[in-house]
């Protein structure tokens, strides 16, 4: 099998595989688009091999395969930067969600103590109290030691 036929088969299999991943919702469109574009570029170069020589001459590159390696390296660099940006955004979102979850758990614990009668709503340690939510206090007064949480 010649290299061109292999490249055409590879491009077609890649496009079909990307559409299958999209259909099954295993990949989002914004990620599949890049891989479909790569597959189409491989398909164009495989069908019209002279285009690679033309681009190499246009950019002053003596060996067309060097142009392929350069473009592939540049594409991998751009994909890595895009994934780094996406990862940073997701880490920040995860941090914010963890903080919000901790605050909500603290509020739920305060409400449970109020409902159980351990702390009145206006007392320190109660929901909206002057000490703020999440401050355990004894119902016996401000100087008494706090009871351990048994919940």
Q: How far apart are CA 47 and CA 27, in angstroms?
A: 28
Report the pLDDT value the prediction gives residue 151, as an integer from 0 to 100: 47
Residues 36 and 68 placed together within one structural domain of the fold = no
Residues 82 and 125 placed together within one structural domain of the fold = yes
Q: How far apart are CA 105 and CA 142, in angstroms?
A: 24
Residues 127 and 95 placed together within one structural domain of the fold = yes
Report the pLDDT value the prediction gives residue 10, as an integer from 0 to 100: 86
- Give me the domain span that covers residue 89: 64-131
Q: How far apart are CA 149 and CA 145, in angstroms?
A: 12
Report the pLDDT value the prediction gives residue 124, as an integer from 0 to 100: 59
Q: How far apart are CA 99 and CA 77, in angstroms?
A: 33
Residues 116 and 69 placed together within one structural domain of the fold = yes
Residues 76 and 41 placed together within one structural domain of the fold = no
Which residue positions in the chain have pLDDT lower than 50? 129-130, 137-142, 144, 151
33 contacts: CB under 8 Å, gap ≥ 6: none
Report the pLDDT value the prediction gives residue 126, as an integer from 0 to 100: 52
Residues 37 and 86 placed together within one structural domain of the fold = no
Task: Give me the number of domains the chain comprises.
Answer: 2
Model pTM score: 0.59
Report the pLDDT value the prediction gives residue 53, as an integer from 0 to 100: 93
Residues 39 and 73 placed together within one structural domain of the fold = no
**Continuous H helices in the chain:** 3-23, 29-47, 50-58, 64-116
């Amino acid at each position: 099998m010649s290299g061109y036929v292999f490249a055409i088969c590879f491009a077609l299999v890649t496009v079909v595989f990307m559409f299958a991943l999209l259909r099954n919702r295993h990949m989002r469109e914004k990620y599949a688009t890049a891989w479909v574009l790569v597959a189409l570029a491989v398909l164009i170069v495989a069908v019209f091999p002279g285009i690679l020589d033309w681009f190499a001459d246009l950019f002053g590159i003596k060996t067309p395969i060097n142009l392929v390696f350069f473009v592939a390296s540049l594409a991998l660099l751009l994909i890595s930067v895009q994934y780094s940006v996406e990862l940073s955004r997701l880490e920040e979102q995860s941090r914010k969600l963890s903080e919000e979850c901790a605050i909500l758990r603290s509020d739920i614990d305060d409400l449970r103590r109020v409902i159980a009668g351990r702390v009145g709503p206006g007392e320190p340690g109660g929901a909206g109290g002057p000490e703020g939510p999440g401050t355990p206090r004894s119902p016996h007064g401000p100087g008494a030691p706090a009871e351990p949480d048994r919940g």
